[in-house]
Amino acid sequence: MRNLAAGLLAAMALAGAAAAEMRVVALGDSLTHGYGLPPADGFVPQLEAWLRRNGAEDVTVVNAGVSGDTTAGGLARLEWSLGDGADALIVELGGNDLLRGIDPAASRANLEAILRKAGARGLPVLLSGLEAPGNYGPDYKRAFDAMYPELAEEYGALLDPSFLEGVQDDRSLWQSDGIHPNAEGVTVIVERIGPLVLELVEQAREDG
């Protein structure tokens, strides 16, 4: 009987530990996916390791990054990416919209739909933005740059104003393609964004 009781207690403890695990889905493009890098050097593995070194040992970060994806693509696969067990969402999208010159109004509508769907699930969101170059003209840049802070405020999301902050002006932190950060660049991004993700995790705990 003692062995049976001990086994039941161990099973309950394991179940409780599993229930306490946090699942953060990172929905993004090649910057999230880790294009051109060994798996361990990508954004998601580095972020998860950073979180665990900084007190969030129970957090798993799910890589829902797809190279080449636009905001429309992210929206189309959102429900599948979240599945049934997501506790929080990181959104890093818009770079491929920029590369294709997509109307910022369309990008904004897609991001807004993502935030609305996440809100319907009760998921806290960290929205990570980008800054548009000036080659599309000042009106395009103004509209693109404004959509991230405005949507974050409207939907109560945490805001990371620029995913590439800290690396965009240091070419030693880029891969040879000039588009994607190298492993050292990803480390810089993770060190900067990590505290925001910890805040996101804390929101998820409070909501849970």
Distances from the Cα of 136 to the Cα of 92, 101, 146, 147, angstroms: 21, 8, 15, 16
Please tell me which residue in 30, 81, 107, 128 is annotated as part of the active site: 30
Q: Which two tokens stand for residue 136?
A: 């599309």
Neighbours of 44 (CB within 10 A): 24
Please tell me which residue in 81, 145, 177, 207 is annotated as part of the active site: 177
30 counts as catalytic:
yes
CA separation for the pair 74, 117 (Å, rounded) = 12
b or e along 68-91 (b: 16 or more beta carbons within 10 Å of the residue's beta carbon)? ebbbbbbbeebeebbeeebbbbbb
Task: For residue 199, give the amino acid letter.
Answer: E
Of the CA atoms within 13 Å of residue 62, those in its CB half-sphere come to: 19
Do 82 and 25 contact (CB within 8 A), yes or no?
yes
33 counts as catalytic:
no
Active site residue ranges? 30, 177, 180
